[in-house]
Amino acid sequence: MLWFTLYTLLALALLYGLVCLVYLWVQERFIFVRFRLTRGYRFAFPGAFEEIFLEPAPEVTLHALRFAAEGPRGTVLYFHGNAGNLKRWGKKAQRFTRQGWNVLMPDYRGFGKSRGRLSEAALHADAALWYAWLKEREPEERILVYGRSLGSGMAVPVAAANHPRALVLESPFANLYDAARHQFYLLPYRLLLRYAFRNDKAIRRVTCPVHIFHGKRDPIVPYESALRLYAAVPDTVRREMLTFGRGFHSDLWRFKRFQRKMERILLVR
């Protein structure tokens, strides 16, 4: 009986170690659900837009779409979620152009037409590069940084390093450990994850107004993670968090309260 118990524990330990190794090896596929597009792919969206390519280093190509509004109030720098590419996310631009805002929407490395070796440091550097590119063409008081889910991992550090008009976060996390643990809490994510995205640390340096939207029924990013992120915003910063009791991860825009609040954020002088 003792030997059977020992063999069982050993088998479970080996299985657990194997699961950890598999996750360590394939974690990028879980975090970044990438779909590529050829360089010649032609987007079809209503309204005026243009493609922008940056090549900051050899074998690195960064791609974004810039949507134009009539008589623009400024530009929304929109960092999208972890799945798809601009073919999908570009449809969101109308929400802002209708309110008189241009939209600059980049694709991350490996998404759409963007290319380059993936790492958290590279993603942060790319996000900073897009902000710098935009700042050369738009005063900072006319730049609104928007982070959707995974995009919050880019949006928060960019806002922390600069002085945009505001930072808007939709379904964000305090750090990626929270989101990973929410999916399968038994793994030692602090040892396994190569992408921490410590928004809870970066947001302490933010000086612009912060607006956070989150659903209590979010099955991907736990609501408690967004609460921790909100609590980390400096007391000297104007901040607010709108909670949606029946909201999930990707449906917050359907709520009238979300739409009304975004209108006020976008239309305020």
pLDDT for residue 9 is more than 70: no
pLDDT reported for residue 226: 97
User: No. of H helices and E strands in the chain?
Assistant: 10, 10
pLDDT band, very low/low/confident/very high, at 15 (cuts 50, 70, 90): low
Query: Angle between the 152-161 and 120-135 helix axes, to the nearest 10 degrees?
Result: 50
pLDDT tens column, 69-109: 998 999 999 999 999 999 999 999 999 999 999 999 999 99
- Give me the mean pLDDT over the 4-15 stretch: 53
The residue ranking higher by pLDDT, 179 or 156, is: 156
| 27 confidence band (pLDDT: 50, 70, 90) | low
In the β-sheet with 166-170, what is the strand arrangement from edge to edge? 49-57, 60-67, 101-106, 74-79, 143-148, 166-170, 210-215, 239-244
Least confident of 36-40, 127-131, 183-187: 183-187
Q: Which residue has the tokens 């709520």?
A: 255
Q: What would the mean pLDDT of 110-133 be, rounded to a whole number? A: 97
Per-residue DSSP letter, 115: B
Q: How many residues does the chain have?
A: 269
Over 70: is that where the pLDDT of 261 sits?
yes
Q: Select the more confidently predicted residue: 136 or 21.
A: 136
C-alpha to C-alpha distance for 33 and 81, rounded to whole angstroms: 9
Return the minimum-mean-pLDDT range out of 27-31, 136-140, 166-170, 202-206.
Answer: 27-31
pLDDT score for 269: 57
The reported pLDDT for the residue numbered 192 is 61
pLDDT of residue 96: 97
In this predicted structure, what is the pLDDT of residue 14?
A: 56
